[in-house]
Every structure is written in C-alpha cells, then in structure tokens.
Amino acid sequence: QQPVQSPQAVILREGEDAVINCSSSKALYSVHWYRQKHGEAPVFLMILLKGGEQKGHDKISASFNEKKQQSSLYLTASQLSYSGTYFCGTAANAGGTSYGKLTFGQGTILTVHP
Amino acid sequence: DTGVSQDPRHKITKRGQNVTFRCDPISEHNRLYWYRQTLGQGPEFLTYFQNEAQLEKSRLLSDRFSAERPKGSFSTLEIQRTEQGDSAMYLCASSPKVRLGETQYFGPGTRLLVL
C-alpha cells in the first residue's frame, strides 16, 4: 500500500521553512527521501532506518517515528534550488530485514519563489 | 565514479512493436531495480535483481514484460506488443547490499511513448 504524503503542494519564498510528511499503514524498515526535478531522475536525499533516528544534511533534515510509521522531511531557510517534487519511498519490515523494493508516495510539489 | 546509466533516453514506438531498454548499474552494486513512473505519480516498483537472480516481480509486470540480468551486471527490460498504456518513464536504480538498509541510486530513465 502506497504511503501518503502531505501536503500535496507547498509554495514558499526563499528563506522560509517547510515540512513534508509521509505516513504508512505498514511496519517500515526504512524511509528514503528523494527530490525530483521536472524531466529528471529522482535524486537521493537521505535514508532513515527504523529506530526513530533523525538525520540532517545541510539545511535539510528528517525524522522517522517507528511507532507511528511516519517520517517528516524538514527544509529550513529554503533556496530556489529546493524546488521540485519530493517523494518518500518506504521499505517494509519483514522479519527485521528489508526486501529492498521501495513503495513511493504520490509526491509533494515544492515551489520556492525569490 | 560513474552513476547508473540507461539507454536509450527516449523511445517512440508504434503500438504492437517490441522495445528493449538497457540499464548499467553503478559498478559493484549487486542489487538492481526497475520502476515505472507516469506523469504526476511516484515511481512504481516493477522488479528487482540480486546479482543475476530476479527476486521479486510486481503484479504490474504483465506477461508482456520481461527483465534479465544475465551476468549480474547490466540489465534489460523488454516490453512486447506495446500498448499506449505502456507510455511512461522507465527508471532503473541500483544499490549495494549492506546490512542496514540500502540507498537506491536512480539512472536518468528511458522515456517511452507508444503511438
């Protein structure tokens, strides 16, 4: 079953912050976040493993709440280059291991204006 | 260090024709995945390989679709008797097999248009 992302779209001005959420009804092994620009392939941002960890990369960070099967992506002080569609991909938990395949959400369109 | 490459990047074909796409994963990545993406949607899983073994196939993969990875390196995805509904971006991704989760790196995709 496909994870649900919210919101579907976000419009920001440069320097503003945004949060994108990803919820699954399945027990998850990992959550993967990607950004995709129009006509291009998805670009890997970060991976979070079960255990409630939080990761950060420059001004983009993410958290994974294993109990709620939810992940959130935090974009702070947004830049024009952050514009694109953000996807979460989830790997289901099967006996403590992942089979590897990702199930992607429907995407969140982020637009950053000057 | 080269990334995942796919060939061709674009393919236009007529309904009923067969098409074949190629994916070259990142060197030494032993897992390879195929996904399909239609406009406005996230990628949908089609199949994946660990080395040359095809370990899982989606129900989306009808009998017109076949994938191979004969020597555990590059992979091909063939669609026989193409239909207009097959028009999509076909994405390949690869990952190393590590214990604590795998990062999948995507190639640029092959955009298929069936007329």
User: Does the beta carbon of A64 lie under 8 angstroms from any beta carbon of chain B?
Assistant: no
Instruction: Indicate whether A99 pLDDT > 80.
Output: no
Instruction: Indicate whether B20 pLDDT > 80.
Output: yes
Length of chain B: 115
Q: How close, in Å, is residue A88 to chain B by CA atoms?
A: 9
Who wins on pLDDT, A31 or A54? A31
State whether A91 and B101 contact (CB < 8 Å): yes
Give me the mean pLDDT over the B28-38 stretch. 92
CA distance A62 to A54: 6
State whether A87 and B43 contact (CB < 8 Å): yes
Strands (E), chain B: 5-7, 10-13, 19-24, 31-37, 44-50, 53-57, 65-68, 75-79, 88-95, 105-106, 110-114
Least confident of A31-45, A52-66, B12-26, B40-54: A52-66
Binning pLDDT at 50, 70 and 90, where does residue A96 land? low
What does the DSSP assignment read for A68-113?
TTEEEEEE-S--GGG-EEEEEEEEE-BTTB-----EE---EEEEEE
Instruction: Indicate whether B54 pLDDT > 70.
Output: yes
Beta bridge partners of B114: B13
Give me the mean pLDDT over the B20-49 stretch. 93
Closest by Cβ to B43, choosing from A40, A49, A104: A104
Looking at chain A, which residue has its C-alpha nearest residue B88? A39
State whether A100 and B40 contact (CB < 8 Å): no
Instruction: Indicate whether B106 pLDDT > 60.
Output: yes
Instruction: Indicate whether A52 pLDDT > 70.
Output: no
Looking at chain B, which residue has its C-alpha nearest residue A93? B101
pLDDT averaged over every residue in chain A: 88
Provide, as residue numbers in chain B, all residues whose Cβ is less than 8 Å from the Cβ of A91. 101
Looking at chain B, which residue has its C-alpha nearest residue A4? B42
